[in-house]
Structure 1
Amino acid sequence: MANTLDPMDLKQIITLHLDRSSNREIAETLSISRNTVNNYIRLFKASDYTYKELLSFDIGKLESLFPSRTTINNPRYDELMRYLEDINKARHHPGFTFLYHYQQYASQADNPYGYTQFLEHYRRKYKIVKGSMKLEHQAGKEMFIDYAGKKLQIVDKTTGEVIDVEVFVAILPHSQYTYVEACMSQKREDLIRCSENALHFYGGVPKAIVSDNLKSAVTRSSKYEAQINRSFKDFARHYNCVINPTRSYSPQDKALVENAVHLAYQRIYYPLGEMTFFSLEELNKEIRMLLEKYNSLLFKRKQASRLELFQSVERAYLKPLPNSKYELKEYRRAKVQKIGYVYFSPDKTYYSVPYRYIGKETTIHYTSSLVEVYYNHQRIASHSRNPSKGAYNTNKDHLSSTHKHYSEWNPEYFKNKAAKYGTAVAACVEQIIAKVDYPEIGYKRAMGVIQLHKLYGAERLDNACKRALQADVVGYRRIENILKNKLDQSTLFMQEEEQEQSHIPKHQNIRGASNYQ
């Protein structure tokens, strides 16, 4: 099945186009068809918006303006490409002929290409495989990142346990200016934090970050179009660059960063061999000192160091850093409840959304300070994150007591419903609704109180509500606890009930206080 272009890639195409990259360069950077890029650029130019306006739109609006198109060729072409990969491995075997392999291909393919097209596609695909060549890297175009295969260690002071730590390596290929940092893992959070630290170390942003097919960076690897981890792609969007993973089984794509890792073993790992570190901070402090010396070493042929090449040439081609650092985003799915809120499970809190989305499945994007609710790639609500457990976070514009779905839900409706089970129940329900700023929140709690009669009966519920009113602890949870713990049936409570009644029986001869004035 042909893949479709991720809506977020539309912004990457626009970003690279604004950076004056050609359509061919954009296609190579994003690993998509050049014709796809050409089509989108024509659509962008024909639209009523400037490129900067398009870049400011959210993903949902961009997707509606420019529907997804295929980014790899059809299954027939894909079948040929897979076959060419196999025959290229046998290219230098004695007795190899294209005609023999074409006949095999034609016999097994449902709709084979002709022999001439077969050869043409092979030559296009492998036109530079004849020998190796020195790659000329453009200044400021890419930053290569990878993890070293060998690990460093820190020691836990309290237990003496030796803990293996990962080593992150980044390099700007034009100047070969290198960044190295130790971190606890290769997980997404550490990868993004290390990549961000590398960008701030360089003081600028390249057009693309080229990563290996790490699980924390690539959700699904592919030779033609890898699927980037959602958070890593959002990180790239924040820093106005793109992610371009290397092709699977193509070591030449990451030769430079592999060489940087090898040099890190010599210049950084080896001097650290006799040293012991008790924290990641101590280890990174020593790495930075060794890294400074390493970047200042002169190249034998260029008569300049990595640092000098970076300062004199490559730094000028980097894009500026954004004003703020990236906040890692997490994602949750949630259905909009009847009262117009989504339940945010990490904090066990609720956030309001517009009523028209009741019953819809939404995606919650959240950081340490912000919670955003999306429906079909369109943001429908945004709230400051509130970690208070059970809190209802409300935007007045989202709520409406007269909404058509809840026209029958009003204070009088719940008061009448509660009165069937006792006067105390009705009084509690009235208090619960009056306590909250927005009736819809109180309605849910009031309904919970009323429903308790199903488990405990109307008489016990009314007694529990009386006790809650006397103690001034009216609330769904308090009333439920009174019933669970059978406090409505306790001897003390029954005595209090009896004390409220007069010991003198009522009859017509009893005079009131007015008779003694």
Structure 2
Amino acid sequence: MANKITDMSKIRKVIKFYCNGKSKLFISSYLSLSRNTVKKYISLFEVLELSFELIDQKTDAELELLFSQTSVEAISPRLQTLYDFFPKMERELKKVGVTVQHMWEQYIAVNPDGYRTSQFHYHYNIWGKRVNPVMHMNHKAGDKMYVDYAGKTLSIIDIDTGEVKEVQFFVAILGASQYTYAEASMSQQKENFVDSVENAMRFFEGTPAAIVPDNLKSAVIKSSRFEPTINETLADLAEHYETTILPARAYRPRDKSLVEGAVKILYRRIYVTIKETKFFSLEELNQQIWDLLDSHNNRKLTGRPYSRSSR
């Protein structure tokens, strides 16, 4: 068949090899695929601009649907120039005060024969849906810090009694850069939670405009769509650091999708690595977490030329 879909496991390997810097010739030879097939799926992957991590999380059925519905269409040089401008625009929009209108003014100054504002907005929306088909939110730098606990716990051993104590795995992430902080703490009680939030801000060396926790009791005494009641200790911390608390809305998974995604990644890069190791103090456990966290933050984002730290 002329347009037969290639086996999804091979597509995953094509994308993985490509993200790891392998040449198309190597990929074609190693996977016994034609060079045109390899070029086709790499081109589709570039059009989608998804990370390999997101691609790898999809089922074969979802992946087949994604690639079968995406095509690399021939577009005019004028439109291609516009599309080439959008990745830079996406990065600039994360900066405080930058708007789509500001970016259009930059674009039209360099391309006086380019698209007017209505078409500019239209094509940016189309481009955004193609490169971010999964739930996507635009984050401003320094705007929000998302915090949550992982569902799975870690453990330490009391050196005197040999008792194994479960400890919590706290994660914080900045919206725009995805720069991540993590630590183990003795509990999810408000004192430990507030300490972890403060440690995260010290790690980030700054205070976000807002802190977004899940609706855990350490943060929110009473949930409400309009006026949730914030734990007094957390409210005092927010007042001290001149920030605000914006709890994620109940039944609104998009509000906390970023930190939940970070938890999943850290499960693979930190939790799995240390879960079988014996630790005899919280300090010892956290030192190991922070060593692995440093590697995570300095690792280039899949399919991107930058890391969380550099961003």
Q: Is the structural similarity TM-score above 0.5?
A: yes
The code of the aligned residue for 1:204 comes to: G
State TM-score, norm by structure 2: 0.56
Could you tell me how far apart the structure 2 residues matched to 1:133 and 1:145 are? 19
Tell whether 2:302 aligns with 1:300: yes
Q: Which structure 1 residue ranges, 4+ long, deviate > 4 Å from structure 2?
A: none
**Count of residues in correspondence between the two structures:** 181
Deviation at 1:225, TM superposition (A): 1.9
Question: Cα offset for 1:203?
Answer: 0.4
1:272-283 equivalent positions in 2, closer than 5 A: 272-283=274-285
Alpha-carbon contact 2:135-2:254 (below 8 Å) kept: no
CA positional deviation for 1:194? 0.6
Higher gyration radius (CA): 1
What amino acid does structure 1 have at the position aligned with 2:242? Answer: N
Please tell me the root mean square deviation across aligned C-alpha atoms, in Å. 1.5
Q: CA deviation at 1:133?
A: 4.2
The Cα shift of 1:234 comes to 0.9
Look up the match of 2:138: 136
- C-alpha distance after superposition, 1:468-511 (max 9, x if no partner): xxxxxxxxxxxxxxxxxxxxxxxxxxxxxxxxxxxxxxxxxxxx
SS for the counterpart of 2:309 is helix
In the other structure, the counterpart of 1:254 is 256
C-alpha distance 153-140 of structure 1, shift in aligned 2 (>3 A):
same
Q: Structure 1, residues 315-338: CA drift from partner, whole Å, max 9, x if none?
A: xxxxxxxxxxxxxxxxxxxxxxxx
Deviations 1:281-323 (CA, angstroms, capped at 9, x unpaired): 10001111000001111012321000000xxxxxxxxxxxxxx
**Which of 184, 201, 211 is 2:186 aligned to?**
184
Equivalent-residue separation in structure 1 for 2:209 and 2:275 (angstroms): 36
- Supply the distance in 1 between the matched residues of 2:244 and 2:253 (Cα, whole angstroms): 21
Task: Give distance in 1, aligned partners of 2:215 and 2:265.
Answer: 21
* 1:98-113 paired onto structure 2 within 5 Å: none
Q: What residue number does 1:270 align with?
A: 272
Match of 2:11 in 1: none
Alignment CA distance shift 1:133-1:279 (3 Å): closer
- Tell me if the contact between 1:224 and 1:247 (Cα under 8 Å) persists in the aligned partners: no
- 1:132 and 1:155 map into 2 onto residues whose CA distance is 41
- Name the CA distance, whole Å, in 2 between partners of 1:304 and 1:132: 21
Instruction: Considering Cα pairs closer than 8 Å and 6+ residues apart, tell me whether 1 or 2 has the greater RCO.
Output: 2
Pick from 140, 153, 164 the counterpart of residue 166 of structure 2. 164
Note the 1:458-469 alignment, pairs <5 A.
Answer: none
Unaligned runs of 5+ residues in structure 2 are 1-95, 98-132
> Which letter maps to 2:145?
M
2:217 to 215, 218, 223: 215
Structure 2 counterparts to residues 17-416 of structure 1, below 5 A: 133-309=135-311
Letter in 1 for 2:166: D
1:40-80 per-residue CA deviation (whole Å, 9 max, x = no partner) reads xxxxxxxxxxxxxxxxxxxxxxxxxxxxxxxxxxxxxxxxx
Note the C-alpha offset of 1:185. 0.4
Deviation at 1:273, TM superposition (A): 2.5
Q: Deviations over 1:189-239 (max 9, x none)?
A: 001111111000000011000000010110101122211111111100100
3-state SS of paired residue (1:308):
coil
Report if the CA contact (8 A) 2:171-2:183 is conserved: yes
Amino acid corresponding to residue 271 of structure 2 in structure 1:
Y
Q: Distance in 2 between matches of 1:154 and 1:233?
A: 31
Cα distance change on mapping 1:132 and 1:286 into 2, 3 Å: closer
Q: 1:471-510 alignment to 2 at 5 Å? A: none
Quote the Cα distance in structure 1 between the aligned partners of 2:143 and 2:159: 43
Following superposition, the deviation at residue 132 of structure 1 comes to 5.9
Aligned residue type for 2:201: L
Alpha-carbon contact 1:171-1:178 (below 8 Å) kept: yes
Q: Distance in 2 between matches of 1:160 and 1:308?
A: 42
Name the amino acid aligned to 2:144. Answer: E
List per-residue Cα deviations over 1:425-452 (Å, max 9, x = no partner).
xxxxxxxxxxxxxxxxxxxxxxxxxxxx
Q: Superposed, which structure 2 residues align to 1:427-438 within 5 Å? A: none
- Equivalence for 2:108: none
Is the 1:220–1:228 Cα contact (8 Å) retained in structure 2? yes
Separation in 1, partners of 2:309, 2:170: 19
- Measured in 2, the distance between the counterparts of 1:247 and 1:203 equals 27
1:274 shift after superposition: 2.9
Cα distance change on mapping 1:132 and 1:306 into 2, 3 Å: closer
* Cα distance between partner residues in 1 of 2:287 and 2:170: 14
State the distance in 1 between where 2:201 and 2:267 align.
22
